[in-house]
Amino acid sequence: MSVSPENISWYLTIHLYKTMDSFVDERDLGLLSKDKYTFSVMSRIIKEECELRLSDHEKLIICFTGQPYPVWIWTPDNAPEDLMERAYQTVKDNSLMDGEHRFNIKYELAEYFISRARKDGLNLMISTNLFAYDCPCSIPPSSVVDGEIHLCTEEDVDVLVDFFDMMHDAIGIDKESREQYRIYAEDGIKNGTVYFWKTSAGEYATSCSWHPANDMASIGLVYTREEQRRKHYAEHLVYQVTEIARSKGYLPMLYTDADYVASNACYEKIGYILRGKLCTIS
């Protein structure tokens, strides 16, 4: 049976809704494990409360926690064009192709989305190039700094909220209210996974946290106050938090903006190895 061009979208929609489930299971975690570095965060958040969760359990998984966070889309390497079209139509049919959402995806899918959206009169572009690193063996910093690592306690919650606020202002994405940052701060303190580097003068210089994701630990919240930069505080703090996560039985990993050369060099100096690449389009 032939399908006229005007009915292609309708047929695709019917097909998609027949094959996409709104739940995930061990099949999906198995698929994500094939890209364990680049999709480590997705494998963690997909098990949490999400605004949208779709999967065919074979070739396409879509996960969206909610604003202001990006939509994660997993497809296998060398995905065929019909699969990339399914991914495009699915996000479009779920009102995500509205200019308000971002997508964390592989580069080949990004190229398809950008080209395909142009046909619909939409302008997509790569906004961030992401590197995924892991650290199988840490290298102690060679620099000498003052101060020491400090595990965040309830007395530090206001300062920790400030660091959440400063970091998100600096990167310009995933910005939320200070009330929401306080919830994150209190959770991190309760879990014992958030740290500061405090100078010998007692100043809070750098923050860092870690979160378990299957057998890996995602290192994040790495931010240094402007006046404390270029003093190697972040290098020492990330090294020590990395070792803490490793001591708990996890393989440390982190995401970086590929264009932040200085930060990436810092991570590589303490043993982080580039394992995967993806990008954010918006």
- The answer on pLDDT for 11 being more than 70 is no
The pLDDT of residue 214 is: 80
- Is residue 150 a contact partner of residue 195, using CB atoms and an 8 Å limit? yes
The pLDDT of residue 115 is: 96
Q: Give pTM, 2 decimals.
A: 0.82
Q: Share the mean pLDDT of the chain.
A: 91
Q: How confident is the model at residue 14 (pLDDT cuts 50, 70, 90)?
A: very low
Q: How confident is the model at residue 17 (pLDDT cuts 50, 70, 90)?
A: very low
- Read off the amino acid at residue 139: I
- The answer on pLDDT for 247 being more than 50 is yes
- The answer on pLDDT for 254 being more than 70 is yes
- Mean of pLDDT values over 140-144: 94
| Bridge partners of residue 198, in order along the sequence | 148, 204
pLDDT tens digit sequence for 180-204: 999 999 999 999 999 999 999 999 9
CA-based nearest residue to 186, from 151, 157, 218, 220: 157
Q: In the chain, pLDDT over 90 holds for what percent of residues?
A: 79
> Considering only the top CATH level, what class is 134-275?
alpha beta
